[in-house]
């Protein structure tokens, strides 16, 4: 069965993989998914209203790079 699946085109293999992973999700995963969706929607509303604290990507990237360099030592 696996050998057959590996012969599928990449798009079909991705679909099979997605379905297999989804089959492992339990009912509690639905609650987590709903909570994340609500959080994303809340954050988007904040951005749309102009009340979200946002940072330019360049600043975030530099802060993360600095943190990674510091943690490697």
pLDDT, one tens digit per residue, over 30-57 is: 788 889 999 999 999 999 999 999 999 9
CA–CA dist 22, 33 (Å, integer):
12
What is the rounded CA–CA span in Å between residue 60 and residue 56? 7
Q: Is the pLDDT of residue 73 over 70?
A: no
**Whole-angstrom distance, CA of residue 15 vs CA of residue 12:** 5
Distance of CA 51 to the CA centre of its chain: 24
pLDDT tens string 8-37: 999 999 999 999 988 887 767 778 888 999
Res 30: pLDDT: 74
Residue tagged 């639905």 (tokens) = 30
């Amino acid at each position: 069965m696996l050998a057959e699946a590996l012969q599928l085109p990449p798009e079909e293999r991705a679909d099979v993989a997605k379905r297999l992973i989804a089959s492992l999700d339990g009912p509690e995963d639905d609650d987590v998914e709903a909570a994340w969706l609500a959080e994303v929607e809340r954050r988007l509303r904040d951005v749309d209203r102009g009340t979200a604290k946002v940072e330019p990507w360049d600043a975030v990237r530099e802060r993360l790079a600095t943190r990674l360099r510091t943690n490697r030592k």
